[in-house]
Amino acid sequence: MSQKKKSQASSGQPLKPTASTINQESTERKEATIKQVDKGNLVFGKDNFKWMFIGMGVMLLGYILMSGGTMPNPETWDPSLIYSFRRITLAPFIILLGLAIEVYAIFYIPKKKTS
Identify the three-state secondary structure at position 32: helix
Mean local confidence (pLDDT), 7-35: 66
Q: What percent of the chain has pLDDT over 70?
A: 71
pLDDT at residue 52, rounded to an integer: 96
For 30-76, the pLDDT digits (tens) are 676 666 555 667 788 889 999 999 999 999 999 999 997 778 888 88
Domain locations along the chain: 42-115
Dist. CA 104–CA 52, nearest whole Å: 9
Dist. CA 83–CA 91, nearest whole Å: 12
Question: In the structure, what pLDDT confidence band is assigned to residue 4 with cuts at 50, 70 and 90?
Answer: low
pLDDT at residue 104, rounded to an integer: 96
Contacts by residues 22-31 (CB-CB < 8 Å, ≥ 24 positions apart): none
Dist. CA 22–CA 83, nearest whole Å: 64
Dist. CA 16–CA 30, nearest whole Å: 27
